[in-house]
Structure 1
Amino acid sequence: MSPLTRDEAQQRAGFLDVHEYVIDLDVTGGEESFGSTSTVWFAARSGGRTFLDVRPVVLRRVVLDGVELDAGLLSEGRFPLELGAGEHELRVEAEMPYSRTGEGMHRFTDPADGLTYLYSQCFLDDAPRVFGCFDQPDLKATFAVSVSAPAEWTVLGNGVAERVGEGRWVCAVTPRISTYLVAVVAGPYHSVRAEHAGLPFGLHVRASLAEFLERDAEELLEVTRRCFDRYHEIFEEPYPFDSYDQAFVPEFNAGAMENPGLVTFRDEKIFRAAATETEVQDRAVTVAHEMAHMWFGDLVTLRWWDDVWLNESFADYMGYQVLADATRYREVWTDFGAARKGWGYDADQRGSTHPVAPEPESVPDTATALLNFDGISYAKGASALRQLVAWLGEKAFLAGVNEHFARHRFGNATLADFVDSMARASADRDVHAWADAWLRTTGVDTLTPVVSEGAGGWRAEVGHVGMRPHRLAVGLYDRVAGDRARLVLRERVERDVSGDGVGFSVSGEGPRPDLLLLNDGDLSYAKVRLDEGSWEAVRTSLSGLPEGLSRAVVWNAARDMVRDGQLAPEVYLEAVRAHLPLEADESVVQAVLAFSRGAVADRFLVGRERAGALELLVGVCRALLERTEAGGEPGVRLTAVRCLLRSSSDVAELLGWRSAGSVPGGPELDAELGWLLLQRLSVLGAVGEREIAAALAEDRSASGEQGAAWCRAALPEAGAKAVAWEALFGGGDALSNRLFRATAEGFWQPEQVELLEPYAPGFFDAAVAVSERRGAEIARVTGVAAFPHAVAGDEVLRLGEELLRSREVIPALGRVLADQLDDLRRVLAVRGAG
Structure 2
Amino acid sequence: MPGENLTRIEAQERRAIVDTTAYAVVLDLTTGPEVFRSTTTVTFTATAGASTFIDLIARTVHSVTLNGRALDAATVFADSRIQLDGLEAENTLVVDADALYTNTGEGLHRFVDPVDGEVYLYSQFEVPDSRRVFAAFEQPDLKATFQFTVTAPAAWKVISNSPTPEPVVDGDAATWTFEPTPRISSYITALIAGPYESTFSELTSASGRVIPLGVYARKSLWGFLDADYVFEKTRQGFAYYEEKFGVPYPFAKYDQLFVPEFNAGAMENAGAVTFTETYVFRSKVTDAIKERRVVTILHELAHMWFGDLVTMKWWNDLWLNESFAEWASTIATAEATEWTEAWTTFNAMEKTWAYRQDQLPSTHPVFAEITDLEDVQVNFDGITYAKGGSVLKQLAAWVGIDAFFAGVGAYFRKHQWSNTELRDLLVELEATSGRELTEWSKKWLETAGVNTLSPVIEEDESGVITRFAIAQTAPADYPTIRPHRLGVGFYQHKGGALVRVHHVELDVDGDLTEVPQLAGRARPDLVLLNDEDLAYAKIRLDERSLKTAIAHLADISDPLARSLVWGAAWDQTRDAEAAASDYVDLVLGNIGTETESTTIRTTLAQLLLAATAYVAPATREATRVRVADTLWELAQGAAAGSDSQLQFTTAFASAAATRTQHETVRALRDGVIALDGLEIDADLSWALLVSLAAGGLVTAADIDDALAADNTAKGAELAAQAKAALPDAASKQLAWDSLVGKADLPNTIVRSAALGFVHPAGRDLLDEFVAPYFENLLPIWGSRTYKIAEYLIAGLYPAPLANAALRDATQAWLTANADAPAALRRLVNENLAGVERALRVQARDAE
Report the TM-score when normalising by structure 2: 0.95
Cα distance in 2 for partners of 1:761, 1:106 equals: 33
Residue aligning to 1:394: 401
CA drift at 1:425: 1.2
Q: Does the CA contact (< 8 Å) of 2:200 and 2:215 recur in 1? A: yes
| Partner SS for 1:503 | strand
Tell me: CA distance 1:693–1:715, structure 2 relative to 1, closer, same or farther (3 Å).
same
- Deviation readout 1:228-253 (Å, 9 max, x if unpaired): 11111111221110010111111111
Shift of 1:686: 0.6
- What residue is the counterpart of 2:311 in the other structure? 301
Cα pair 2:161 2:269 within 8 Å, conserved: yes
Q: CA deviation at 1:171?
A: 2.0
Query: What SS does the corresponding residue of 1:92 show, helix, strand or coil?
Result: strand
Post-superposition Cα deviations, 1:54-88, rounded to whole Å, max 9, x if no partner, equal 11100011111111111012111111112344211
Other-structure match for 2:528: 517
Counterpart of 2:327 in structure 1 is 317
Per the TM alignment, residue 800 of structure 1 is displaced from its structure 2 partner at its CA by: 1.6
Partner amino acid, structure 1, of 2:341:
E
Aligned AA for 1:36?
S
After superposing the two structures, state which structure 1 stretch, 489-498 or 622-631, moved more: 622-631
Shift of 1:11: 1.4
Aligned counterpart, 1:23: 25
Equivalent residue number for residue 134 of structure 1:
137
The offset of 1:630, in angstroms, is 4.6
User: Which residue identity is paired with 2:731?
Assistant: A
Corresponding residue for 2:488? 474
> How far is the alpha carbon of 1:740 from its aligned partner?
1.0
Task: Tell me the equivalent position of 1:78.
Answer: 81
The structural deviation recorded for 1:291 is 0.5
Residue 148 of structure 1 corresponds to: 151
- The answer to whether the 8 Å contact 2:46/2:89 transfers is yes
Q: How many residues align?
A: 820
Shift of 1:625: 2.8
**For each residue in 1:172-209, what CA deviation from the matched residue of structure 2 results, as whole angstroms up to 9, or x when unmatched?**
21100001111100011111211111111111111110
Contact 1:286 1:319 in 2 (8 A): yes
Q: Do 1:193 and 1:200's aligned partners in 2 also have CA atoms closer than 8 Å?
A: yes
Tell me which residue corresponds to 1:639.
647
Query: What amino acid maps onto 1:27 in structure 2?
Result: L
CA deviation vs aligned residue, 1:590-613 (integer Å, no higher than 9, x gap): 11111111x212221365633333
- Distance in 1 (CA, whole Å) between partners of 2:786 and 2:254 is 30
User: How far apart in 2 are the matches of 1:439 and 1:504?
Assistant: 26
TM-aligned CA distance change 1:749 to 1:630, over 3 Å: closer
SS of 1:777's partner is: helix
How far apart, in 1, do the equivalents of 2:439 and 2:266 lie?
A: 34
Whole-angstrom distance in 1 between the partners of 2:673 and 2:228: 29
Report the counterpart of residue 201 of structure 2 in structure 1: 194
Corresponding residue SS for 1:112: coil
Partners in 2 of 1:548 and 1:683 — Cα distance? 35
Q: Is the 8 A contact 2:211 2:253 kept in 1?
A: yes
Partner of 1:443: 449
2:166 aligns to what SS in structure 1?
A: strand
Instruction: Find 2:438's aligned residue among 428, 432, 449.
Output: 432
**Which amino acid is 1:340 matched to?**
E
Q: Tell me if structure 2 keeps the 8 A contact 1:580–1:620.
A: no
CA distance in structure 2 between the partners assigned to 1:7 and 1:766 by the alignment: 31
Q: What code does the residue aligned with 2:399 have?
A: L
Contact 2:667–2:673 (8 Å) recurs in 1: no
1:623 deviates by: 4.2
Q: Is the alpha carbon distance of 1:32 and 1:621 closer, same or farther for their aligned partners in structure 2, counting shifts above 3 Å?
A: same
Question: Structure 1 stretches of 5 or more lacking a match?
Answer: none
Pick which of 756-765 and 412-421 moved more: 756-765
* Secondary structure of the structure 2 residue equivalent to 1:509: coil
CA RMSD of superposed structures (Å):
1.6
CA shift for structure 1 position 510? 4.1
Match of 1:376 in 2: 383
Q: Secondary structure at 1:442's aligned position in 2?
A: coil
Given candidates 43, 48, 51, the residue that maps to 1:49 is: 51
- Deviation (angstroms), 1:550: 0.4
Whether 2:43 is the aligned partner of 1:35: answer no
Task: Please list every run of at least 4 consecutive aligned residues from structure 1 whose deviation after the TM superposition is greater than 4 angstroms.
Answer: none
Structure 2 residue 423 is matched with structure 1 residue 416: yes
Q: 1:83, 1:524 → 2: CA distance?
A: 55
The answer to whether the 8 A contact 2:802-2:838 is kept is: no
Report the secondary structure of 1:14's partner residue. Answer: helix
Task: Give 3-state SS (helix, strand or coil) of 1:644's partner.
Answer: helix
CA drift at 1:749: 3.0
Give secondary structure in 1 for the equivalent of 2:51.
strand
Cα separation, 2, equivalents of 1:820 and 1:270: 32
Q: Post-superposition shift, 1:751?
A: 2.6
- Does the 8 Å CA contact 1:581/1:620 hold for their aligned counterparts? no
Q: Greater CA deviation, 66-75 or 459-468?
A: 459-468
Contact 2:636–2:645 (Cα < 8 Å) also in 1: no
Decide whether the 8 Å contact of 1:62 with 1:70 is kept in 2.
yes
User: How far apart are residue 615 of structure 1 and its match?
Assistant: 2.9
1:795 alignment partner, SS class: helix
| Aligned with residue 461 of structure 1, among 461, 469, 478 | 469
CA distance in 2, matches of 1:19, 1:480: 68
Matches within 5 A, 1:521-600: 521-597=532-608, 599-600=609-610
**1:366 pairs with 2:373:** yes
Structure 2 counterpart SS, 1:41: strand
- How do 1:670-689 and structure 2 match up within 5 A? 670-689=681-700
Structure 1 residues 271 and 767 mapped into 2: Cα distance closer, same or farther (>3 Å)? farther
Per the alignment, residue 98 of structure 1 pairs with: 101
- Correspondence for 1:823 among 834, 837, 847: 834
- Give the C-alpha shift of residue 2 in structure 1: 3.9
Q: Residue type matched to 1:520 in 2?
A: D
Structure 2 residue corresponding to 1:727, chosen from 738, 748, 755 = 738
How do 1:580-659 residues align onto structure 2 when only pairs under 5 Å count? 580-597=591-608, 599-605=609-615, 609-631=619-641, 634-648=642-656, 649=658, 650-659=661-670
1:205 aligns with 2:211: no
CA distance in 2, matches of 1:26, 1:646: 46
The structural deviation recorded for 1:465 is 1.2
Determine the C-alpha separation between the residues in 1 that align with 2:72 and 2:696. Answer: 60
Query: How many angstroms does 1:716 deviate by?
Result: 1.8
Unmatched 5+ stretches in structure 2: 205-209, 475-480
Relative distance call for 1:87 and 1:68 in structure 2 (3 A) is same
Q: Distance in 2 between matches of 1:743 and 1:620?
A: 28
The equivalent residue for 1:487 is: 498
Q: Is the 8 A contact 2:60 2:99 kept in 1?
A: yes
| Displacement of 1:262 | 0.5
Q: Secondary structure at the residue paired with 2:723?
A: helix
8 Å contact from structure 2 (residues 29, 151) kept in 1: yes
**Residue identity opposite 2:425 in structure 1:** F
User: How far apart are residue 490 of structure 1 and its match?
Assistant: 0.9
Deviation at 1:614, TM superposition (A): 2.8
The whole-number CA distance in structure 2 between the counterparts of 1:473 and 1:367 is 40
